Structure 1
Amino acid sequence: MDRIAILAFRIVDQLRHDKRTMALILFAPIIVLFLVHSILTGADNTYKIGVISAPEDYVTQLAKGEDISVEVIDFSNGDMDLAIENAINAIKTEEITAAVSVPDDLANADIYLDGTDTAVAKQITGIIKSALSLTLREKLPISIEESEYRTTYVYGSEDTSSFDNFGAAMIGIIIFFFVFLIAGINFLGERNSGTLEKMLSTPIKRGEIVIGYVLGFSILALIQTVIVTVFVVYVLDVTVIGSIWYVLLINLLTAIMALTLGMAISGLASSEFQMVQFIPIIIIPQIFLCGLFSLTPGWELLGKFVPLTYSVGALREVMLHGNGIGDIWLDLLVILGFSAFFMLLNVSFLRKQRSI
């Protein structure tokens, strides 16, 4: 029993002197919980619905929203075709969530909808139909079943599943997480084994070391990227409207970004255990800020500084919206920019290690 107590006290004493580990143990859970609570409880659930043409009493009923916050935006003008075009463009640019056109007799409704998020699409459709039902009840002897609804999906379809929406983002998140962890632990092993120190004593330049490691680890990252992408798309049957080659390109660049970040963070860790402890600080906040959840303007602005935001955004543009390089080039450029920045951090850390 004494030997067990001695061993237990020795472990506690080691942890007590490891300030970095103690800080992560004590403060990381609090930071993550605060982040999750702030994002999920402060999310903006106001739905913006465009009205192309509708009687005033229907618009009034729609704005009430039945326990759901609804903002009605008027797209009506003299040209019906132009109004429809403007509303659809607003859906594509995410200025509104949906649009509706209702004739004066309230006999039918044309709904224009982004169907990529099935839960949101169903809720908005229910809001539109409920408003029409309540308006009919007040004005005409016609039941809701007698009204006709024609739904035009700007993105997605009636058969789109929830996993199609989240699957696009999850591909990038999974690749980012595993490449970050594997690259960080392996590069940390190179430091701890003395291999890196031996290379630093040779004429090889620090930048050449970083580039060499990035290229070497990129082979593994490329294999993992292909496996994950092919599995999600062809085995799990996640919808890909755009080119699969763009999906592979985005995921490969995401893997390189995670690789360079993992290598940089490994310079702050002294063991594999500490490397794993960085996950709550580095990975989890990015998952909540990358656009996977509805965010308030403040959190959305903070998400602009998160690398995963641009990977998830680009994947959704290709997989869910069918867009090409003209719509994702800026996201790709930012991803490359983050990768270059993390490589510079690696060079800086190697400079400090050489000077020790």
Structure 2
Amino acid sequence: MIWRRLSAVMLKEVRQMRRDRITLAMIVAIPVMQLLLFGYAINTNLRDLKAGVADQANTTASRAMVMDIVATTVIKPTLAARTPQELMEAIRRGEISLGIVVPPDFERRRAEGREQVQILVDGSDNAVQSAAAQLAQMPADTAVRAVVPVERPISVVAFYNPERRSAVNIVPGLIGVILTMTMVLFTGVAIVRERERGNMELLIATPVSSAELMIGKVLPYIAIGLVQTTVVLALGMWLFDVPLNGSVWHVYVAAILLIAANLTLGLLISTRAQSQFQAMQMTFFVFLPSILLSGFMFPFSGMPRPVQWLAEVLPLTHFLRLIRGIMLRGASLWELWPDVLALLAFITVMMSAAILRFRKRLD
């Protein structure tokens, strides 16, 4: 009798799962997604870092030295500058990660065996610092050794986090991770909760439009998200001595953009899910790629190009660039306008899709 009862319960669960298409999809999709992410997308070896070059010597040997550094494939020159100051400004704006400076007296330094090339590094990303340190220790290419000495002619100068403290890099990103996890979940169950509690009948009887309902559900959570931002920001500065080199108002504007993006995404999930459990499943399906592909845990530049295109769709990717640029490099929102526009476009698309999908009906 025990086995008959157990079999009946098991059969009921199997039939229920078979009717739940989202759960069935998650059974296959989650392990496949993790395998692809960790096996294909995640790569700790950085390649093609955006770099600027200021070759003030412009001699055969200096050009050979720069070509030797480029040949490592760690960097990809995207900016030609005249002075180190131009490179530092480009780093502050987030346009490049590294700057290669060849001084005007390169030939004299080479003859005296002194440091001949300086690499300026965006220290707000510890992975970039590590890549620059390895780059400085790489031996010169065989074809270049005739004109360039091999004895470590490169020095590395890191800005914004010269001590390479992990907290300086992690704490700003934690603001985005926490907001992504909580905001998507809050609104992800919003519409579903109205149905399960029987409140949808009351909403149907009111003159509130779909757009008013969607916007009304988003606005209260913006205040909650700002409270979370304040808590993480204050604790990070107090406990871990994380600097705030930019405007605090720009930090909050960037946080509002991410909060709104995540809330609208949660609303879209809520219009698709049939139960709160399904909404939480779909939230997890969004959260996992966000934390792995945004550059929070693993270097963004080490990912294959198609994966980087996918990561550009995620709000957390753009927020990390904004928050690290503002807090660590002292950049302004105007200098980081591409990521601001990306978040605004995401908010517009997600909110429009949620409004179009929502219907004030019980079915």
TM more than 0.5: yes
How far apart in 2 are the matches of 1:355 and 1:332? Answer: 37
Matches within 5 A, 1:67-146: 68-70=72-74, 82-89=82-89, 91-92=91-92, 93-95=94-96, 97-101=98-102, 103-104=106-107, 105=111, 106-109=113-116, 110-131=118-139
TM-score by length of 1: 0.80
How far apart in 2 are the matches of 1:46 and 1:141? Answer: 25
How far apart in 2 are the matches of 1:225 and 1:74? Answer: 34
Q: Which residue of 1 aligns with 2:24?
A: 22
Q: Which residue of 2 aligns with 1:162?
A: 166
1:345 aligns with 2:353: yes
Secondary structure, counterpart of 2:100 in structure 1: strand
Contact in 1 for aligned 2:48/2:74 (Cα 8 Å): yes
Contact in 2 for aligned 1:225/1:252 (Cα 8 Å): no
Deviation at 1:73, TM superposition (A): 5.3
Secondary structure, counterpart of 2:263 in structure 1: helix
Secondary structure, counterpart of 1:326 in structure 2: coil
Q: Which residue of 2 aligns with 1:327?
A: 335
Structure 1, 318-327 or 39-48: larger mean CA deviation: 39-48
Q: 1:225 to 1:57 in 2, by over 3 A?
A: same
1:262 aligns with 2:297: no
Contact in 1 for aligned 2:264/2:347 (Cα 8 Å): yes
Give 1:300's match in structure 2, choosing from 291, 305, 308. Answer: 308
Unaligned runs of 5+ in 2: none
Deviation at 1:175, TM superposition (A): 0.8
Contact in 2 for aligned 1:175/1:228 (Cα 8 Å): no
Matches within 5 A, 1:302-317: 302-317=310-325
How far apart in 1 are the matches of 2:126 and 2:239? Answer: 21
Q: Which residue of 2 aligns with 1:211?
A: 215
Deviation at 1:37, TM superposition (A): 2.5
Unaligned runs of 5+ in 1: none
Contact in 2 for aligned 1:58/1:131 (Cα 8 Å): no
Deviation at 1:30, TM superposition (A): 0.8
Question: Relative to total residues, which structure has the larger helix share, 1 or 2?
Answer: 1
Contact in 2 for aligned 1:260/1:342 (Cα 8 Å): yes
Structure 1, 19-28 or 224-233: larger mean CA deviation: 224-233
Q: 1:67 to 1:5 in 2, by over 3 A?
A: farther
How far apart in 2 are the matches of 1:66 and 1:290? Answer: 26
Deviation at 1:6, TM superposition (A): 2.4
How far apart in 1 are the matches of 2:348 and 2:354? Answer: 10
Deviation at 1:278, TM superposition (A): 0.9
Q: Which residue of 2 aligns with 1:226?
A: 230
How far apart in 2 are the matches of 1:221 and 1:246? Answer: 15
How far apart in 2 are the matches of 1:118 and 1:341? Answer: 34
The alignment covers a number of residue pairs equal to: 347
1:153-203 alpha-carbon deviations (Å, 9 max, x no partner) = 4x3142242332243333212211111112222442122212133112222
RMSD over aligned CA atoms reads: 3.7
Q: Which residue of 2 aligns with 1:252?
A: 256
The amino acid across from 1:165 in the alignment is N
How far apart in 2 are the matches of 1:32 and 1:254? Answer: 25
Q: Which residue of 1 aligns with 2:53?
A: 50
Paired-residue identity, %? 25
How far apart in 2 are the matches of 1:328 and 1:66? Answer: 27
The amino acid across from 1:108 in the alignment is E
How far apart in 2 are the matches of 1:75 and 1:225? Answer: 35
Secondary structure, counterpart of 2:189 in structure 1: helix
TM-score by length of 2: 0.79
Contact in 2 for aligned 1:222/1:252 (Cα 8 Å): yes
How far apart in 2 are the matches of 1:259 and 1:76? Answer: 41
Structure 1, 53-62 or 34-43: larger mean CA deviation: 53-62
1:287 aligns with 2:295: no
The amino acid across from 2:199 in the alignment is T
How far apart in 2 are the matches of 1:254 and 1:224? Answer: 12
Contact in 1 for aligned 2:180/2:262 (Cα 8 Å): yes
Contact in 1 for aligned 2:52/2:87 (Cα 8 Å): no
Contact in 2 for aligned 1:111/1:152 (Cα 8 Å): yes
